[in-house]
Structure formats: C-alpha cells, structure tokens
C-alpha cells in the first residue's frame, strides 16, 4: 500500500513525530504488527524500534537523500524504513514500513507505504481486510496524505495511464481519498464505503482478502477506479501546494 501527498517541507523532527504516531497506530491494528525493527544510522545493524523522538529524529536525519557525490540533499527529502522482523532474510510474515518525505519540490511526490516481502508469498494471516484497512487509515491520517491505495502486486498489471502518466488511484483493493478531495467522489454502490470522522473517504472492493483472479473483486475495483476519475484528473500530486 502506498500513501502519497504533494510538496511539503518538513524537518526530521516533524517527520519523527508522524513516524512515531504511525508506529503506534500500526501496533494497535493487530498483534502481528506489534513489534518493529529499524536502524538508527546508515549501514547500522537492525535493532528493536524504540519510540524515542530524539532517536527517531536522528535516524530520519541520517536517512537524508544524497546527491551523486554522496553529499546530503535535504531538499529531496528523507528516507527511513522499519520491519516487523529482526532478520534481513525474506519472510511470509515480514512487513516493511517505508517513508520518503520532507521535500517541497513540485516535481517530486512525498510518500509512505507498507508492503510484504518482494517475491515472497505472504502469510494469509497478515493479508487481511482488518490489517490492511487499519494500515491504510494509519498512513492516511498520520501523514495527512492526499490518497492511499492498497493492492496485490499482480493487480498492477491491469493499470492504465491518463495523459501519459500513472493514475493517482488505479485499480486497488482499498482506496482512500483525503477530506479535501472526497466531496468530488461518488462511491459506487457495489463498494464497501466508509466516511471517516474527519471527512476522509475509504472504499474497498471486498472485506475479504483481495484475489486478482476473482472477477467479482476486480469488477468492484474497476467501479471504484472509475468513481475516482475526478481525483485522477487533477494534477499530480493532486491539488497540493508546497507548505
């Protein structure tokens, strides 16, 4: 799943506050997300995550994007990752939380995401509607994201472009639109629809685990994507301004 938003200048300390909130939200979603591990400096060993703002700020600052010569380039943001297992080897139960944010550049997109291990079939216990819905809302609300999409990787093979660029919300299992854009969307009756207290809009193709080979799941996903046409028609990142 991927949350995205437009230009926004944020310091490592500001991002640390959001990251700590995200970790707390994810830990509350399910016991499978209760424990996290990260690295407090570049190339350092992976260690148990600690919700200490000074430490997290230092970790994010160390993840500053660097130019071709290896010099820090904070204008292009900061990168940080955390995992649900301490081992580097792939695991069906390992999730990776990732952040690349803090850039005010109008040509770049700030983002935060959660993913299962690449090229590894995930444990069905971790790919549930409860976990993915909770994580989508956590990403959306902790980072004030413009939108979020959660999807199985094989669904991306059906994605299309508009005007030569990728859609902000394409076919997905769960789609989220921020309060500032939600009024433009008329959810399809086939979808699971939740209007959040702050005005955010969550739509899901199914409350079961999404299966791309299931025509019923894909059909509802297509209706949700079609409903998001007004959002996708906006500039990307949609309607955001540097802050």
Question: Which domain covers residue 112, as residue numbers?
Answer: 1-145
Residues 159 and 138 in one domain: no
Residues 129 and 181 in one domain: no
Give yes or no for residue 243 having a pLDDT over 80.
Answer: no
DSSP H helical segments within the chain, as ranges? 12-29, 53-62, 129-142, 179-182, 215-227, 229-232
Take residue 198 and report the two structure tokens written for it.
Answer: 């702050």
Residues 92 and 156 in one domain: no
Q: Which of 123, 145, 167 represents a domain boundary (last residue)? A: 145
Number of independent structural domains in the chain:
2
pLDDT in the model for residue 39:
78
Across residues 7-32, what is the average pLDDT?
A: 97
Residues 86 and 173 in one domain: no
Residues 110 and 164 in one domain: no
Residues 155 and 141 in one domain: no
The string of pLDDT tens digits covering residues 31-84 is 999 999 997 666 666 889 999 999 999 999 999 999 999 999 999 999 999 999
Residues 126 and 176 in one domain: no
Distance CA 210, CA 118 (A): 18
Residues 136 and 153 in one domain: no
pLDDT in the model for residue 164:
78
Give yes or no for residue 88 having a pLDDT over 90.
Answer: no
Q: Which of 95, 125, 145 represents a domain boundary (last residue)? A: 145
The string of pLDDT tens digits covering residues 186-223 is 999 999 999 999 999 999 999 999 999 999 999 999 99
| Mean pLDDT computed over every residue of the chain | 93
**Could you give the percent of the chain with pLDDT greater than 70?**
94
pLDDT in the model for residue 225:
97
Q: Which of 122, 145, 168 represents a domain boundary (last residue)? A: 145
Residues 124 and 211 in one domain: no
The string of pLDDT tens digits covering residues 165-174 is 889 999 999 9
Distance CA 47, CA 17 (A): 19
For the chain, the first-to-last Cα distance in angstroms comes to 25
Residues 116 and 68 in one domain: yes
Residues 213 and 227 in one domain: yes
Residues 106 and 188 in one domain: no
């Amino acid at each position: 799943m991927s949350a995205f938003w437009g230009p926004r200048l944020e310091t490592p300390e500001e991002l640390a506050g959001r990251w700590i909130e995200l970790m707390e939200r994810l830990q509350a979603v399910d016991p499978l997300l209760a424990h996290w591990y990260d690295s407090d400096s570049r190339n350092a060993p992976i260690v148990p995550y600690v919700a200490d703002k000074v430490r997290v700020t230092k970790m994010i600052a160390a993840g500053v994007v660097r130019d071709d010569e290896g010099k820090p380039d904070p204008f292009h943001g900061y990168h940080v990752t955390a995992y649900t297992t301490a081992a580097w080897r792939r695991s069906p139960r390992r999730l990776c939380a990732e952040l690349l944010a803090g850039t005010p550049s109008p040509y770049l997109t700030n983002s935060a995401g959660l993913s299962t291990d690449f090229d590894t079939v995930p444990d069905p216990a971790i790919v549930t509607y409860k976990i993915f819905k909770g994580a989508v809302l956590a990403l959306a609300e902790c980072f004030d994201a413009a939108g979020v999409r959660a999807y199985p990787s094989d669904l991306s093979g059906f994605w299309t472009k508009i005007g030569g660029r990728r859609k902000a919300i394409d076919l997905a299992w769960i789609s989220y639109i921020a309060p500032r854009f939600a009024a433009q969307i008329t959810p399809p009756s086939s979808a699971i629809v939740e209007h959040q207290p702050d005005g955010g809009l969550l739509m899901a193709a199914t409350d079961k685990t999404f299966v791309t080979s299931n025509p019923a799941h894909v059909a509802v996903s297509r209706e949700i994507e079609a409903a998001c046409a007004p959002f996708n028609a906006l500039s990307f990142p949609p309607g955001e301004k540097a802050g």
